[in-house]
Chains A and B, each alone.
Chain A
Amino acid sequence: MTAQPILQVVDLKKHFPIRKGVLQRVAAKVHAVDGITFHVNAGETLGLVGESGCGKSTAGKTILKLIEPDSGTVRLMGERIDALSPREMWPYRRQLQVVFQDPYSSLSPRLTAGAIVAEPLENFGIAKGKEARERVAWLFEKVGLRAEQMAKYPYEFSGGQRQRLGIARALAVRPKLIVADEPVSALDVSVQAQVVNLLMDLQEEFGLSYLFVAHDLAVVEHISHRVAVMYLGKIVEIADKKSIFAAPKHPYTEALLSAAPLPDPTTKRKRIVLAGDVPSPVNPPSGCRFHTRCPYAIDRCKTEEPVLREAATGHQVACHLR
């Protein structure tokens, strides 16, 4: 029996109602997250990839309880947090932190950098006054900022520096798990590498686990230990990094990987170009959600929904054909 996972998510669902008319009747639902199951082990990074609109960010926010889940269970170190009230959730926030995508809107514009990073320390009564300032200075150094910069305001920092501030804030309470919601997508490529490497260094030093939400496959390949691929609110494939990048099993993963740019432009490979757009999550296709665009679809795919099953050791895939 292996150690207990840090995060265990089972059949998590989040549907957003679309309300219409004077009485605000629910006319339809956006199936943003439609029953996903996965876990994150201690000290591990799980990359959660998918196209925009596939529900990967909603999944992250639901786990953080910034959005209430509709059903399913979320266990943080074995304890259920999915049904907790905000007050009951409060102690668990010390174990579970977040880094957002946009380094501009994720920092209060009217607070100093030092105050932003100190806020979680004050909230949990970890440190106050001088002690808090020393702790913040230490955190600044840890994320590659200088302690003198504590008195500056967010607008005085560059995008990469702001993201380092966001990481320092998340790190302040020494969490077990950080949900990183596209933490480098808004940064320049050269800065992306620095921030990703910083996250990896911090993981090693503090034994952090990451749920790393992203759409950039190169970044995910670099940072992740395992990768989960999402399509229209469902996880279609989960495996360790090596097997997913070397031998993807799901047709969607194949297409996604073939679309990622390669560093060497002379390399020839077969690109799988999918027909049409991603169907609307308001009325997702019957059966396998991918059947409308899948090059291998058979009749069974239109009627029967494939379950996520173990196709090889540690390699789960939701497809009738593989």
Chain B
Amino acid sequence: MALTAVGPAPEAAIAGKRRPWWRRNMSIVLGGGLLFAALILALLAPYLGTVDPTALSPIRRFRPPSEAYWFGTDHLGRDVYSRVVYGARASLLVGVAVAALAVGAGLFFGLIAGFNRWIDAVLMRVMDGLMAIPAVLLAIALMALTKASLQNVIIAIAIAEVPRVTRLVRGVVLTLREQPFVEAAVASGTSTVKILYRHILPNTVAPLVVQATYIWASAIITEAILSFIGAGLPPSIPTWGNIIAEARAVFSVRPHLIAFPAVFLSVTVLAINLLGDGLRDALDPRLARRL
């Protein structure tokens, strides 16, 4: 009789330990959900009650937020709501493209550096040099050399991110190639190329996915900074950065013109970072130390 009062039933204890996956990975659910919403916004931009984001209308300058102009209008009479929604396209596209490009290039260089000592010595000094320059400065310098276009912005931001990915991949490769299972593969006559894609590459996926989300987030911010100082995308393409930049002059009298794009920018970056943190914890707890 006394035993029943000792504690909760075993089933309850077990059930309490094993919460459903979405409760254990709240940051993935939250971050992924917000990011998904942003993606929907970007994809369905023309169908969300928007008008042409570049259409000028000087007589309707600086309208406050209203039913017709949800976020008001800017100094050229353009609809800020439409501009912010279309801006999501540029921002997310730049982020994804930079992440893909940087991860691809970093993976390539990292694998080579991890497997060849001579290339490693030269390549990693170049990467150290690139890393010594702040990402934004490097991107500005590169943009000064070329004309403003979507491609050039993506490449300029990606170059600054490559060294970090290279270092990460190189570190994983160097750790793995000392592992007995790689030595066993060498002893079994497995070619170097096959060792790379069969034994090394699958083990780099988890840290790379996590790193890619961080690059995505930071690329969105870098793009916004570039657009803000006028070194980014051409003004004809609305981005959250150049919307904020154009509203800067009237910031003290029309603060909402900056507030709307800024909130979208912050929430999107926060969502991606939440997703990245969640993925890091879910994929491999040991990664926390490596990143």
Residues of A within 8 A of B (CB): 61, 64, 66, 86, 90, 93-94, 96-98, 100-102, 105-111, 119-120, 123-124, 166, 169, 172-173
Q: Is B285 positioned at the interface, with any CB of A under 8 Å from its CB?
A: no
Question: For residue B202, which residues in chain A have a CB less than 8 angstroms away from its CB?
Answer: 110
Complex partner residue of B203 from A101, A110, A166, CB under 8 angstroms: A110
Interface-lining segment among B70-78, B176-184, B248-256: B176-184
Q: Could you tell me the distance between the alpha carbons of A204 and B161 in the complex, rounded to whole angstroms?
A: 58
Partner of A105, one of B181, B189, B194, B203: B181
B188 contacts the other chain (Cβ, under 8 Å)?
Answer: yes
* Total A-B contacts with CB atoms under 8 angstroms apart: 61
Q: Which residue from chain B places its CB closest to the CB of A100 in the assembled complex?
A: B180
- Would you call B189 and A64 a contact (CB within 8 A)? no
Beyond A110-B202, A110-B203, A111-B198, is A97–B181 a contact (Cβ under 8 Å)?
no
CB distance from B182 to the nearest CB of A (A): 8
Contact B189 A108, beta carbon cutoff 8 Å: no
A100 to B182, CA, bound (A): 11
Within the complex, what minimum Cβ distance (angstroms) separates A138 from chain B?
Answer: 18
Q: Is the CB of B186 within 8 A of A120?
A: no
Distance of A283 Cα from B101 Cα, bound (Å)? 50
Interface centre among A102, A106, A124 (most CB of B within 10 A): A106
| A–B complex contacts, Cβ < 8 Å, 24 sampled | A66-B187, A93-B188, A94-B189, A97-B187, A98-B184, A98-B187, A100-B180, A100-B183, A102-B180, A105-B179, A106-B179, A106-B180, A106-B181, A108-B198, A109-B181, A111-B199, A119-B185, A119-B198, A120-B190, A123-B188, A124-B189, A169-B184, A172-B188, A173-B188
User: Hey, which chain A residues are within 8 Å of B203, CB to CB?
Assistant: 109-110
The interface residues of chain B lying within 8 Å CB-to-CB of A169 are 184, 188
- A102 to B192 alpha-carbon distance, docked (Å): 23
- Other A-B pairs, 8, CB within 8 Å; known A66-B183, A107-B181: A97-B187, A108-B198, A111-B199, A119-B185, A120-B190, A123-B188, A169-B188, A173-B189
Kindly list chain B residues whose C-beta atoms are within 8 Å of the C-beta of A105.
179-181
B contacts with A, residue count (CB < 8 A): 18
- When distances are taken between beta carbons in the complex, the residues of chain A under 8 Å from B179 are 105-106
B181–A66 touching, CB < 8 Å: no
The B105-119 residues at the A interface (CB cut-off 8 A) are: none
Cα–Cα, bound, A110→B283 (Å): 14
Say yes or no: B189 contacts A106, CB within 8 Å: no
Q: Which of B180, B188, B191 contacts A97 (CB 8 A)?
A: B188
A19 vs B68: C-alpha distance when bound (angstroms): 72
Most A-side CB within 10 Å, residue of B179, B183, B189: B189
Contact mask B159-183 → A, CB, 8 Å, 1/0? 0000000000000000000011101
Q: What residue in chain B is nearest A154 (Cβ atoms)?
A: B181
Closest A residue to B185 using CB positions: A119
A283 to B198 Cα, complex, angstroms: 41
Contacts of B194 in A (CB 8 A): 123
CA distance A101 to B181 in the complex (A): 11
Contact present for B184 and A166 (CB under 8 Å)? yes
With CB as the reference atom, state the residue of chain A lying closest to B201. Answer: A110
Q: A105-B179, A105-B180, A106-B181 are in contact. Are A64 and B199 (CB under 8 A)?
A: no
Q: How far is the CA of A46 from the CA of B190 in the complex (A)?
A: 27
Minimum CB–CB distance for A191 against chain B, Å: 19
Shortest Cβ distance from residue B113 to the other chain A in the assembled complex, whole angstroms? 17
* Nearest 3 pairs of A and B residues by beta carbon: A106-B180, A120-B188, A123-B189
A90, B181: Cβ atoms under 8 Å?
Answer: no
Asked whether A119 lies within 8 Å of B187 as measured between CB atoms, the reply is no
Does B180 contact A119, Cβ atoms closer than 8 Å?
Answer: no
Within the complex, what minimum Cβ distance (angstroms) separates A13 from chain B?
21
On whether A100 and B198 interact (CB within 8 A), knowing A93-B189, A120-B189, A123-B190, the answer reads no
Do A64 and B187 touch across chains, with their CB atoms under 8 A apart?
yes
Residues of B with C-beta under 8 A to A61? 183
Asked if A108 and B199 sit within 8 Å, CB to CB, the answer is yes
Task: List, in ascending order, chain A residues with CB within 8 A of B187's CB.
Answer: 64, 66, 93, 96-98
Tell me, rounded to whole Å, the shortest Cβ–Cβ distance linking A81 to chain B: 13
* Distance in angstroms between the alpha carbons of A109 and B206 in the assembled complex: 14
Give the complex CA separation of A86 and B185 in angstroms: 13
CB neighbours of B190 from chain A (8 A): 119-120, 123
Residue-wise, chain B 136-167 has the 8 Å CB interface mask toward A (1 for contact) of 00000000000000000000000000000000
